[in-house]
Structures are given as structure tokens and as C-alpha cells.
Structure 1
């Protein structure tokens, strides 16, 4: 079992919402590969929400917002929170 933080993106959502693509690019560029596993899934299975707003799953936590800037801020905040929690778990 991997101790990596799992960040999942829906391809359909990224094709609909630029902020979802921006979050994907951000995590691919800035997150350490040994700590974060980025998954690009074909479909997240939450089509109604997918059509309305950008989203991502970080360790199965659903992160979204109707506003693109707010989504990106929430996404970064949750990623930082999960990274800090992961670092604490590894130190114990």
C-alpha cells in the first residue's frame, strides 16, 4: 500500500473547466513525485457536479467551488493540509 497522497482528476471535468486543468498542471509541476500520486481518470462518476464546477479528489476528499479562483485556492489549501498531515504521520 502506498503512503502517497492520491490526487484524482476527471478528464471530462478538465475538458470543461480550465481551473481543473490548472490545478492538475500545478500538482504535476509542484508536488513531489515521491509524496503525491496524480491520477487522471476517464470519468469520476459524478456527472451532475462535473458539468457545474471544477473538482478534484485529494485522498478521496471532494474539493470544489463554483468560482474558478475559489476552487484553485481550496485545492491548494487541501493539498497543503494533506501534505502536512502526511509528513506528521511519517514522523511518528
Structure 2
């Protein structure tokens, strides 16, 4: 199952739009654009996205992308560790 990255349409600034497009080009990531993700306070303060439901923020688009990629790796490691236990 691919990680799901969700973006709020109200926060699609040019730098966040670039991130969204880059992630959409990655066949290992599913991307969704939503009218509102219900995190308006965060949305008003900084670029953000949800990675499998977890809030990921950044000071700018570049940092957001780095943090999204880091969160995807951390979540994948947790899944791998869990599967190793089974």
C-alpha cells in the first residue's frame, strides 16, 4: 500500500503546488487534494500536508517536502518492524 499524502486546496501556494506535482510523479506515493482538511489553524500558519493522516509541516515548501519524505520513511519503518514481529 502506498503512503497517502493529502493537501488542503486552500494552502496550495506555488511552492506547495510544486511539491504536490513532484509527489504525484512518484508512483510510490498517492496524492490527494482536498477542499479542506479541517486543520485551519495550522493551514493559516505554515505549509502542511497529511501523510497517512499524520500532520506534517514545514517553514517553506522545501522543508515541507523533506519532512513529508521523512514521515513516509518513519511510517514505513514502523510497518516493517510490525511485520517482523508477526
Same fold (TM over 0.5): yes
Distance 1:31 1:37, change over 3 A: same
Gaps of 5+ in 2: none
Higher RCO (CA-CA < 8 Å; seq separation 6+): 1
Alignment of 1:63 with 2:56, yes or no, is yes
Gaps of 5+ in 1: none
Per-residue deviation, residues 32-91 of structure 1 (Å, max 9, x unmatched): 2xxx332111111122221221111001110002233222211222223334555x3678
**Structure 1 partner of 2:25:** 29
Question: What is the TM-score of this pair, normalised by structure 2?
Answer: 0.73
Alpha carbons 2:24, 2:30 under 8 Å: kept: no
Question: What is the TM-score of this pair, normalised by structure 1?
Answer: 0.69
Alignment of 1:47 with 2:34, yes or no, is no
